[in-house]
Amino acid sequence: MPSYRQLGKLPPKRHIQLRNETGGFLNEGLYYEHVVTTQGFDRAYSIMYHLRPPTRITASETAGKIELRKVDEQELRHHHIETQKLARSGDPVTGRVPMMFNEDVVAWRSKPDRPQAELYRNGAADEVIFVHQGSGILETVYGKLPYRRGDYIVVPRTTTYRLVADDIQKEDHLVLECFGQVRVPTRYQNPDGQMYLGVPYYERDFHSPADLLTIDSETPTTILIKDRDRLTRVTMPHHPFDVVGWDGFLYPYTFNAWDFEPLTGTTHLPPPFQQTFECRGFVICTFAPRYLDHHPQAIKVPYVHSNVEADEVLFYVDGEFGSRRGVGLGSMTLHPGGIPHGPRQSCSTLIAASF
């Protein structure tokens, strides 16, 4: 996670009482501590304080399964998936369409045509929602997180949320469901936990919820929970957005692709210089507008390369992509390991999210 943040009411020490002077739930006079941890208590965590115990569940029922289907490909080849042609349908969660997957990641495209029907939580994966088009607010248990075009919205697993768009008909997302944790690359942070000078972004480029969303309501509320392929609908007797304060390193945040400061050289620098996030089994890179390579004999395009241990996926976000006609905004291309790939002749990608 980028850095420590805090919001709202907190007791002076962890694991002591935070008194609710209005009496609170069952007149116990308390706010209810909830520790959200990762990696078996060893990595990033946050502590939040609720109006009511977050364990109150009155019903739990199956809500079906989402089974991903593999295509039995007959040949090893590059693919150009014209996801810009995807029809608008569903809501920002249930309308997601799976494009590709393995044990570490599922890539979905989403072009919703209706608001999110109910609260949602991914219980088994972090989510990175790349906002290709759209803007609005991600309402979460941590508070309200505004988002805009070009944002990576990073949502840690178990975060309950509702995506509230300014105009649902303009929303267009690439969603990565990440079964390992999404992190800032370790090599970007010094031993004190601060971003090194010279890395492509700094703490100020990361935006966490600035306002709490504290709903004091005993209205029964359902949450759709996804864990891998299983969907469960749980009912709480109160609204789960009842947090009065939280602190820690685990929270949803945004980082905008246009805030990525590309590094350049006299000749072409490889994708590790564009890395934005690290995840288990894959990375996410941002190919942002950059000063072109300035060696007198520089070839101002990426060199042909073979990723002998990985597949490469490009999602085309903005600008004119010069190396391949027919590849447009919203296109996804898959370049499997085992066969080389590269630009046809030139490459002027402005921003391509790549994983």
Partner 1 sequence: MFDTDRRLFLTPEAIALDDPKYPRSWLETPAPTPPTGQYSG
Determine the interface stretch with partner 1 among 149-157, 194-202, 214-222, 321-329 (rule: CB under 8 A): 321-329
Q: Would you say 24 or 302 has its CB closer to partner 1? A: 302
The Cα–Cα gap between 105 and 125 comes to 9
Give CA–CA dist 156/279, Å, rounded: 12
> Which residues does 101 contact at the CB level (< 8 Å), separation at least 6?
68, 107
- Which listed residue (62, 186, 297, 345) binds partner 1 by CB under 8 A? 345
Among 73, 192, 197, 219, binds partner 1 (CB under 8 A): 73
Note whether 103 binds partner 1 by CB under 8 A: yes
By CB under 8 A, which span of 56-64, 212-220, 239-247, 328-336 interacts with partner 1?
Answer: 328-336
Pick 41 or 291: Cβ nearer partner 1:
291
| Structural contact between residues 159 and 225, judged by C-beta atoms closer than 8 angstroms | no
Residue 310 makes contact with partner 1 by CB under 8 A: yes
| Residue 102 interacts with partner 1 (CB under 8 A): yes or no | yes
> Which strands form 32-37's sheet, in the order they lie side by side?
5-8, 243-248, 45-50, 32-37
Contact status: 89 vs partner 1 (CB under 8 A): no
Asked if 132 and 234 count as a contact pair (C-beta separation under 8 A), the reply is: no
* Residue closest to 160 by CA, chosen among 252, 230, 231: 252
Residue 52 or 96: which CB sits closer to partner 1? 96
Alpha carbons 161 and 167: distance in angstroms, whole number: 18
Binding of residue 15 to partner 1 (CB under 8 A)? no
H/E/C letters for each residue in 1-63? CCCCEEEECCCCCCCCCCECCCCCHHHCCECEEEEEECCCCCCCEEEEEECCCCCCCCEEEEE
> Does 31 interact with partner 1 (rule: CB under 8 A)?
no
From 100, 124, 263, 329, residue interacting with partner 1 (rule: CB under 8 A) = 100
Residues listed for the chain: 355
Tell me how far apart the alpha carbons of residues 221 and 347 are, in angstroms, rounded to a whole number: 50
Amino acid, single-letter form, for residue 42: D
348 binds partner 1 (CB under 8 A): yes
Q: Which residue stretch of 56-64, 166-174, 200-208, 324-332 sits at the interface with partner 1 (rule: CB under 8 A)?
A: 324-332
295 touches partner 1 (CB under 8 A): no
Q: What are phi and psi of 84, to 5 degrees?
A: -65, -15
146 binds partner 1 (CB under 8 A): no
Question: How many residues bind to partner 1 according to rule CB under 8 A?
Answer: 60
Q: Which C-beta is closer to partner 1: that of 43 or that of 300? A: 300
Q: Does 53 bind partner 1 (CB under 8 A)?
A: no
Residue of 188, 282, 315, 316 interacting with partner 1 (CB under 8 A): 282
CA distances to 86, 97, 100, 313, 325 from 108, in Å: 11, 5, 7, 13, 24
Which span (3-11, 32-40, 58-66, 342-350) binds partner 1, by CB under 8 A?
Answer: 342-350
CB 253 within 8 A of CB 208: yes
| 110 interacts with partner 1 by CB under 8 A | no
Location of structure tokens 């891998």: 228
Q: How far is the CB of 44 from partner 1 (least distance, A)?
A: 20
Q: Which of 18, 44, 63, 97 binds partner 1 (CB under 8 A)?
A: 97
Query: Interface residues with partner 1 (CB under 8 A)?
Result: 68-71, 73, 77-83, 85-86, 97-104, 271-272, 275, 278, 281-283, 289-292, 294, 300-301, 309-311, 313, 319, 322-327, 332-334, 336-337, 341, 344-350
